[in-house]
Amino acid sequence: MSETVKQGKRLDHRLPEKFMPTIDYELCRVCKRCVNDCSYQALEFRESRVVPSGGCVACGRCIAVCPANCIEIRPVPPQFAPHGNWSERSRRAILAQSSSGGVLLSSCGADDEHPSIFDDLLLDAAQVTNPSIDPLREPVETVTYLGRRPGHLEVRDGKVIIREDDTPLIRMDMPLMFGHISLGSVSYNAQKALFMAAKELNIVAGSGEGGLHPDFYQYADRICSEVASGRFGIKPEYLKGVAAVEIKIGQGAKPGHGGHLPGEKVTTMISETRMIPLGTDALSPYPHHDIYSIEDLAQLISLLKESTEYRLPVGVKIAAVHNVGAIASGLVRAGADFLTVDGYKGGTGAAPRVIRDHAGLPIEVAIAAVDQRLTREGLRNRVTVCAGGGIRSSADMIKALALGADVVMVSTAAMIAMGCRVCQQCHRGLCSWGIATQREDLCVRLNSEVAADRIVRLFRAWNEELREVLGAMGIDAVESLVANRDRLRYRGPNPKIAEVMGVKHIGEGWG
């Protein structure tokens, strides 16, 4: 009987477009630069004109290269029947997943519209009882040191003893570092730009876990080498000349998750730098398989300190998770000279969407939790706390400092400075800006020097803004802002958050 029931035709449920590049044909000179530059092949030349061919991700490359300024990328209006619970996002996810059957991947940070707690914080300023300071006329210092601190100075027989060698520190001109972005996840030119900028700004840049290309040894004194679970590219040169070494336990965008660089991206250069066979997948295990406990971590820290002859600070990076305070305390006791805490809005080159969007802790809360915990245990003045994950502006940076971070880590902002438009397609390796790709024809689109200059200008401007705010607060050195939660007030919807962070509510003053 059932064979008589007719089956529907096979339909491959193509999803409606999200973005539509539209071309003003009156202005278009038909130069086809947009067609050539679109690595997503969302534009084609047909019947003497350029037409959209689907799959636009709004990377904005076409707009940037169009000499006639005739392209506009329009978000396509909702193509789904409105429903309060079944958002377009959720329906798209189901349709995509029922087509592919796979884990949905995405890149960059969590893109949900959950409000940032940074936006709920207001800064204080000095009035009358303490004078504000004009940073253009008087010194306002932003020099920051990264590493372990002794807690107190020793005095013996009336002599002050300085044990400099026990605690190597890195000096930076501003309380900022670039996060870990590996060669592999980004192109050679992109990583070079980051290193050049770090050198110029006199700050530190993370190497990512992809090893260090021999061309970049010249920037080594500004590079923090990452030792991740894959142990890629770890050799004497990777550890010895650098500024610091950091063990990566987790990443804010994908806490508890490892890494996967597909074999097609493992070019000759990547294979040599990572010290893995050409064309094989580079897999970073989820945990370090020699670290199943805090005491194992302590051993790896000792090992790295021993192999670098105690000349480098050795840090540990963790994703912000619910017990981040207790974990941070364990890291300090295990011997970490600095900690890096990465919030759930932190960026990534590729992550399962379910983890990216649903796991971890907002960095604002994590910073305050770590600072409070370490302070309570009398450990806070021994270590440097770095924090990042979704830092979008100098205001976010300043608030992160005031919440309790010594150093703020940024990555996405630096990528945007060099051209990234946060289209969240890094995992596809088609980056039209030559940043998150290994395709040679795309890589050559990025000029390291131009990109480095843009990064330098951006963060110099942030530093000026930091100095302006410090001056307005009547503070003339950035260390007096760090963990000065007294100078913050919360104006958001949930006072419990303020309470947890140890920040007063707006309107609460002294006496």
Residue 311 interacts with another protein (CB under 8 A): yes or no: no
Exactly one of 113, 164, 165, 166 binds another protein (CB under 8 A); which one? 164
Distance CA 179, CA 173 (A): 16
Encoded tokens for 81: 């029947």
Minimal distance in Å, beta carbon 492 to another protein?
Answer: 20
Distance CA 164, CA 273 (A): 34
CB-wise, 234 or 481, nearer to another protein? 481
Encoded tokens for 82: 């409105």
Distance CA 52, CA 204 (A): 42
Residue 160 interacts with another protein (CB under 8 A): yes or no: yes
* Contact region with another protein (CB under 8 A), list: 14-22, 253-261, 334-342, 475-483: 475-483
CB-wise, 272 or 377, nearer to another protein? 377
Exactly one of 45, 119, 480, 500 binds another protein (CB under 8 A); which one? 480
Exactly one of 54, 78, 151, 285 binds another protein (CB under 8 A); which one? 151
How would you classify the pairing of strands 314-319 and 282-284?
unpaired
Task: Enumerate residues 67-126 that contact another protein by CB under 8 A.
Answer: 126
Per DSSP, what are the bridge partners of residue 205? 178, 223
Residue 440 interacts with another protein (CB under 8 A): yes or no: no
| Cα atoms found within 13 Å of the Cα of residue 193, Cβ hemisphere only | 30
Q: Could you tell me which residues come within 8 angstroms of residue 118 by beta carbon, excluding any fewer than 6 positions away? A: 364, 392, 395, 396, 399, 400
Residue 149 interacts with another protein (CB under 8 A): yes or no: yes
Exactly one of 222, 317, 487, 489 binds another protein (CB under 8 A); which one? 487
CB-wise, 77 or 158, nearer to another protein? 158
The Cβ of residue 400 has, within 10 Å, a number of other Cβ atoms equal to 30
* Contact region with another protein (CB under 8 A), list: 138-146, 338-346, 407-415, 450-458: 138-146
- The amino acid at residue 245 is V
Distance CA 113, CA 111 (A): 6
Residue 139 interacts with another protein (CB under 8 A): yes or no: yes
Nearest to 432 by CA among 42, 104, 45: 42
Exactly one of 87, 97, 280, 381 binds another protein (CB under 8 A); which one? 381
Minimal distance in Å, beta carbon 128 to another protein?
Answer: 8
Distance CA 94, CA 83 (A): 15
* Contact region with another protein (CB under 8 A), list: 191-199, 306-314, 373-381, 422-430: 373-381
Distance CA 509, CA 511 (A): 6
Exactly one of 197, 261, 336, 482 binds another protein (CB under 8 A); which one? 482
CA torsion sign for 144, 150, 151, 156 is negative
Encoded tokens for 111: 């893109």
Minimal distance in Å, beta carbon 352 to another protein?
Answer: 38
Task: Tell me, rounded to whole angstroms, the distance of Cα 195 from its chain centroid.
Answer: 15
Minimal distance in Å, beta carbon 20 to another protein?
Answer: 51
Encoded tokens for 118: 């940074």
Exactly one of 322, 476, 492, 500 binds another protein (CB under 8 A); which one? 476
Residue 131 interacts with another protein (CB under 8 A): yes or no: yes
**Residues in touch with another protein (CB under 8 A):** 126, 128-131, 133, 138-139, 141, 143, 145, 149-153, 155, 158-160, 162, 164, 169, 375, 378, 380-381, 473-477, 479-487, 508-511
